[in-house]
Structure 1
Amino acid sequence: MNSQLYQPNLNQLTLYDQDYYLWIQKTVEQLQHNQFQEIDLKNLIAELESMGRSEKRSVQSNLTVLLIHLLKYKYQPNKRSRSWRSTIVEHRRRLLILFKDSPSLRGYGQEIFAECYQDARQDAATETQLKVSVFSDECPFNLEAVLKVDYLADEE
């Protein structure tokens, strides 16, 4: 096969394709100077949509990790470690920062809480080598509780 078929024509690439950081700088400058007709609107919209998805994935990921460690802490008290507590503190902090910067994401956290718990339940079973049935089908925690600074799962 001809390898040139897979190489884009450099003359047809947009600044977005050639130098992402420069594209951002130029887009910001165009916005600041009300040069709306000059803006690469298609890529700007795509980037903004991507940013929103990224923030949501971050909430889901951090919430799942937090719940995994709270489950391990609750169901394996004899194996509690500083590392588990550190992970709980770190992922709680990340969530609190996300929710402070974007309060509407707290609603998303509430919306996906049960789903994150089910993922955490599966992962905690894998990590602890306990049967998944050991972990409650229904989440023993709620979002507000797990976000409290000193909350640990042994308080139930």
Structure 2
Amino acid sequence: MGYAKSNSPERFAPDAYPVHAALPDLCTTIPPALLPDPALHPQTFDQNLDRNNSTCVFAPGDDEPVLGRIQVAVSRPGADTGDSAADRLIEVRRGYDEEKSGTRTPFAPVGGFGEEAKLAVATLEDFAYADLAVRDGVLLINIYVAMPGNDPLAPGDVAKGIAAELLRTLPQDGR
């Protein structure tokens, strides 16, 4: 009985559970001009790409000195989860609230990015770091930037530039 009900046509009605356009390949979507160093290249061996998840890591090649690292991840709940649109939004909000909650560096709200965004910056020895989490509808964007130097604002500016570009090019509100 439960099996027949779970496969009922109403459960998979396109208007109730829309299938979103696939998220783009972040390794080709992010313009190289936004990266702080031209020696940072997409590491496609470390890439995740499917309809509702896309990740890319930008790092120097094996024979280049350590020049920093950028990790970008975009995700949204799948439309096939059987949850309502409201349930998926609650899931994303919960994920945003929990994002980076276990880190020692405090996050501060950042305006102008999606429906809500938070940023943490820090320096350690000769590197500066930034973590940016952005929620826009059912879309969750996470950007981590590590770069040489002691200016804690520099990696935050890089992360914000990448986030602004992604919000311009990704499906609005993640749909």
Task: State the TM-score, normalizing by the size of structure 2.
Answer: 0.26
The structure whose Rg is larger is: 1
Of structures 1 and 2, the one scoring higher in RCO (CA 8 A, sep 6+) is: 1
Higher share of residues assigned helix: 1
Higher share of residues assigned strand: 2
